[in-house]
Structure 1
């Protein structure tokens, strides 16, 4: 089986999510043919030099998995797009391009985080273009870690406040962009996260059937896409000790 997860938004404050994730890594991902993480693994990532005990715990889980022979792949999300090669070296995880086509048991599939599909959210797309600028990132990394952490906290707070005023349509994917990406990459299967709206959507692409699978977030329970040669199933994983989350609509 091949497993897909996204939008865990791991943080030291959410022990229930962390416990569920570590259990998943040790007892489920360890039995997989491969694990794909499609972005927003962390609630915030300000640089690979942020070597907190919490981050070490998560990196150790990945290192244990990859050392056991299970390949693990990562696509950046909008919260952790600054994960870099140091993280990859320490964990054994392979960083993929933001739009990547993989072979899913004989079926080509386009995998991505999903934020690039939300083309109606013009403010976010402008912001995304700015923070992905290499020069701006270089300037950012010149700052001390403590400054970057404060900036990250401020951006996270601003994002939460802004998203509360946006309509569901704006924050969801643009259907035409979905079809455009499927057509561009010449595939009929897309897998992504970001919107926190787990579902399997059957589409029409130029008169032929296509499928878009949306991964769920990990705010109230774990969400895993389990793929086998026999099919693809979206499943949940319950938390051992649920905690109240106030971030259901955040992306």
Structure 2
């Protein structure tokens, strides 16, 4: 997809807010901080990319979505209605998202990495879970949780039971959540770095933008290509900014 970025405009990226964890009360300050960031960037945003795990748990029944998150959903609706394009990539915590964002907020939802071109800059963008070598336990679990029959079974649980059960496992079970310990493993052991290098064997991208690792990372893959991980809004409060053909990380609250 091609996006023309006007002069003096920027494209913003953020991921891994995990709103709702470990409790709604505990995550409220993070939600308010994230909403404040959205409110600040609206003046010069050409587009906003949200790269998954906005919610720590999300499941869409036919007529029901999880309670809460009014502030962030209202702000996203306001920005989209004002004409700012917003793109959402599901993460491993909100992989059961269906069409609520598309119908209610007019925000497209992607379940796989997508190619974009900003003016002349090429990018591959996604959440990052289950990519590259390794992480076999999570990959098996993801196949189970995305299998239509199992989603159909879960939908028959009353929402009061289903959402509570999902929230419990999302917080407690790292195998299901797919979370990794947020420590840099070295380039040779970073699965997303290996994934990016393999992609470069067949096609060039100027930037690979992912979340999921909860670590702010900027790694040169070669002289023309860079891998960026957006970090999170739990510990780092980092986000990416595309400006004048380059992308860098910033921390919200710091100049």
TM-score (norm 2): 0.82
Q: Does 1:232 align with 2:226?
A: no
Instruction: Report Cα offsets for 1:90-144 as digits up to 9, x if no partner.
Output: 1221112411001123111000101122531111111111111122112212221
User: Which of residues 186, 189, 196 is equivalent to 1:178?
Assistant: 196
Q: Does 1:42 align with 2:55?
A: yes
User: Which of residues 3, 8, 21 is equivalent to 2:12?
Assistant: 3
User: Which of residues 80, 85, 89 is equivalent to 2:94?
Assistant: 80
User: Which of residues 234, 250, 253 is equivalent to 1:219?
Assistant: 234
Q: Does 1:91 align with 2:105?
A: yes
Unaligned runs of 5+ in 1: 240-251
Change (3 A) 1:117 1:76: same
Tell me by how many angstroms 1:212 deviates: 0.6
Tell me by how many angstroms 1:86 deviates: 1.9
Contact 1:6 1:215 in 2 (8 A): yes
Instruction: Work out the CA distance in 1 between the residues paired with 2:245 and 2:193.
Output: 28
Unaligned runs of 5+ in 2: 1-9
Contact 1:203 1:210 in 2 (8 A): yes
Tell me by how many angstroms 1:160 deviates: 7.6
Change (3 A) 1:168 1:107: closer
Tell me by how many angstroms 1:172 deviates: 4.0
User: Which of residues 206, 215, 219 is equivalent to 1:197?
Assistant: 215
Question: Which piece of structure 1 moves more, 106-115 or 6-15?
Answer: 6-15
Instruction: Work out the CA distance in 2 between the residues paired with 1:179 and 1:154.
Output: 36
Instruction: Work out the CA distance in 2 between the residues paired with 1:230 and 1:46.
Output: 37
User: Which of residues 140, 146, 169 is equivalent to 1:132?
Assistant: 146
Instruction: Work out the CA distance in 1 between the residues paired with 2:42 and 2:103.
Output: 19
Contact 2:179 2:212 in 1 (8 A): no
Instruction: Work out the CA distance in 2 between the residues paired with 1:164 and 1:197.
Output: 10
Instruction: Work out the CA distance in 2 between the residues paired with 1:122 and 1:160.
Output: 10
Tell me by how many angstroms 1:182 deviates: 3.7
Instruction: Work out the CA distance in 2 between the residues paired with 1:27 and 1:166.
Output: 28
